[in-house]
Amino acid sequence: MERISWDQYFISQSQLIALRSTCERLAVGATIVRDKRVIAGGYNGSVSGGSHCIDEGCKVIDGHCVRTIHAEVNAILQCAKFGVPTEGAEIYVTHFPCLNCCKTIIQSGIKKIIYGQDYRNNEYALELLDQAGVIYKKVEPEYLHMEQNAKDKIQLISTLLQELEQKGMDEEELKEFRMKANELFTMVE
């Protein structure tokens, strides 16, 4: 039996962590690793004790859900809370980090980002990562689901949902489609 690579092992853990996400727009998971050991994990969700998107809907301002804390920040905050240093660590994320998460990753001392899917990759974020010497690479998960073609199906549904959103579909109808897609795949964007 052939063992999966370290990158596949940790990106798969991030996919699993993303299943805890409470945001209806995009389920994201992050795993922070140092010396091939997991030191923290995080998913995008509401502040502790706060209302969740899955319960009350996303709170969207300027195209972003402001109710959630991003997965990368949650993982870094977990390290801070428990006194675990992030200097020199790697972070595995289901999707390319947003600009603010990239800045947080740089400031935390993380030196490598491994991500599973492109997602609104910000040019300025790429510039900052390059300036800071943070390595980033895409590693598509190979063991996302046991179902054949699951990745292609998830990508198609995610793309369709994004197009419906861009074309101005009613938010309630869109929410219903997202819920149905999440029931089918448990990780649709």
Residues classed as catalytic: 72
Structure tokens belonging to residue 3: 């063992």
Structure tokens belonging to residue 67: 């109710």
Coil, strand, or helix at residue 101?
Answer: helix
- Give the C-alpha separation, 164 to 162, whole Å: 5
Listed in sequence order, the residues at least 6 apart from 129 whose beta carbon sits closer than 8 Å to its beta carbon are: 102, 105, 106, 113, 136
